[in-house]
Chain A
Amino acid sequence: MSPGPDMRRIRTMVRRISRQIRRDRRTLGLMIVAPLLVTFIFGIMFTGKLSNIPTAISVNDQSWGTTLGSVITSELEKNENVTVVHRSRANAFVDFGQSIQAVLLLPTSLTEDLVRGTNTSIGLYVNVSMWPQANYILSTIGNATTDAATQLLGRTGLTFERNVTVLAPPPPVGGSLSFNLSLVNQDLGFPVIIGRVVQEALSDNANVSLVLCNSREDVIASIRSETSIAGIYVPENFTRILLTGGKPTVEIFINGIESTEAVVALAAIQEALANAAKSIIGRGTDVTITYVYGAAGMSMIDLAGPSVIGFFALFFGFIISGVFFLRERQQGTLERMRASPLTDLEMVIGYVIAFIAVSVVQTTIISLVIVYYSPGILSAMGLLIPLILLLVIGSVTLAIAVSYRTKNELQILQMIPIFIIPQIFLCGIFFPVSLLPSYLAFLPYLFPLTYYVTAVKAVVFFGATIVDIIIPIIVLSLYGLLGLGLAVARRSER
């Protein structure tokens, strides 16, 4: 029957409550200083030694199928002046000097030695009747091997010795340059899968405990479900690219909220990568690391900040507005307001807006501090502000609903262990929600902070957009509506 809320009366409410909050210097100071303090403490708190950090790993790396021997072979086969006859080591020299003019022996360790930079030699035996042909054979084989090495490893200037044996020919007269080559290719290529070496190094590291995954998607799922703190995905071309002088990419996934653990796991991963490469190819790696969730160098402050903002918005929204409203009841100003044109809804909206204003100030100050340390967080904060406002709406309205039903300020404070403290522990800031036993798994989802923290993780560390956090938004909106409903619902009269 009553028309919609009157904005001018709401403004009157907001102005009065803001005045009261501004005048209460102690509360005001607390509302600004406490969150900052907690943010900093949070930021430096988790710096102990950690071990057995669950780290998901998926190594799809393949051994390098290509061998230098096969490349040399195909180089030679392309040359129309060369007829390649594949032979085993045992009958390499059959018909040597007759139908076979040259023999090329490629040893088993050819590729590996070359990659490792150790001395390698191939054997070339030439038996022809004239020097020009001998020279031709020498340069052809020489070019083929050098080209193959350059082509294969993407590096020039690779050298290997050639043991050349030329059987002295009689003086030559003309003739064809073509020759038949007996080729013995025993090259085994490069048998090591570097990804596997990385994995072994990690499994030997006490700081991490590996969760083996089959695919990149499994790694991501493992982190999303909070089974793992960090994840590493080594793609199938890792060894090949690394060996051929390219810059392979390793993707490292981090569940940023558990950042201390993430930092330890990250360090272990990087160490394993560097060591593996160094021990195998004798030089440092140049690995591109993609941080899928969160960015490198993200400090705990950007992880803690948004969560702390949300928590304090909830906490102060609840406690202070609850006490304020209770006082209105006790000192009789509520009675006076109810006799005035102010409606219940206008009063509640006035409260909500005043406390939203407080939260905005709070959030701005804390955000400025966080952004000073980590500018990257700014865009995420933009997305989180609507969530914080929803949290404040729910919190303030619920506080009003509660303070209608409480007798004194102590009873408001009694709500802290009932409503506030469980939220801190269950919301997923301190430990993953998934660690609860299944029969208690529903518990965190009763509290609004859980949804907020879920959204914070998604936005800050998983780079979520507004679409990805639509469920927390919906739930927090419903929570706000519930609070509003309870706050203006008919109450039993005293």
Chain B
Amino acid sequence: MSQPLNLPRWIDIGLLPLWNLAIALLAAGLVVRGIGQDPLHAFGAMLQGALGSVRGIGYTLYYTTSFIFTGLAVAVAFHGGLFNIGGEGQATLGGLGVALTALAFPQLPAPVLLPMLVIAAALFGMAWALVPAWLQAWRGSHIVITTIMFNFLGASLNVYLLVNWLRPIGDMAVESADFSDAARMPALHELAARFGLELPSSPLNLSFVLALAACVFVWWFLWKSGAGYKLRAVGSSPRAAHYAGIAPRYQILLAMALSGALAGLVGVNEISGVQGKLTLDFVAGAGFTGIAVALMGRNHPIGIVLASLLFGVLYQGGAEVSFDIPDFSREMVVTAQGLIVLFAGAMAMVSAPLFARLYARFKRHG
């Protein structure tokens, strides 16, 4: 039996996450110190690289885009009481959907083709998530296990299709043929150029707007729609949902369908927005980062945007630091990311009792 914590909202969702982030950075700083580097210098270089230039910001927001999609995917499943670890595989399939559609309709104009690509990405991601969902709902196979397995299957499927079917004959690289120009999601610097604005080139593309739209949709779906009401009922109290006549099975399908569709949209950002062709391993861990993003963002769209931004800074800034400081390896960046996930995600509530005590003392005297 422990005493209930009484934390005001501004501490719970404001001060506490910042404090956790500070601890994580402190720990990362100690590690950097340990390998003989100057933490402040590295930190400065990271911020400079991520936010110090328009180009850097472009890269940061490009990473942010993918993290928003996968973070939302994890959050939607979570509100339905499910832990979707399969973002990686669902995103891979989303990319496959984009590629197959783009290669099948090379003659279509962009205004027709681009919406088709978005829909294809969502449908492919959805389909890949629905198999584990069905297995969970009707056969009781644990969704954590099946979605992990489907990550491997998705990656293997991608390799197989690329090597045996999609690779142009005689080409050595394991990639598909280039898409038509109409199948490229316009980059932001290209759009800006049309309005006479000169921006340095970066991979940031219109998918970012799509990601923000997805945030609004998820918010509406979860807290305004009837389907979201039922989904949250099942997620937080399966017995009460059963009592209320809500069939949990269909809610599992719905949660995973939506989750998979959101993860699939990573394919739009990466394949249509950046690569312009199907490649291997283009998801690059964004599916897993989505779990950390959702955890930090408390499964709320606004929190997810903020957490995605943080991870975008880490990815982009980290890449710059390892470029800037030769001894500062890529692994070092991964270590820092790991510490942030640990302190701000998994151990998010460790400091809560401390703040509760301080707050109680402050209130008594104040």
Same assembly: no
Chain A residues engaging chain B, CB cutoff 8 angstroms = none
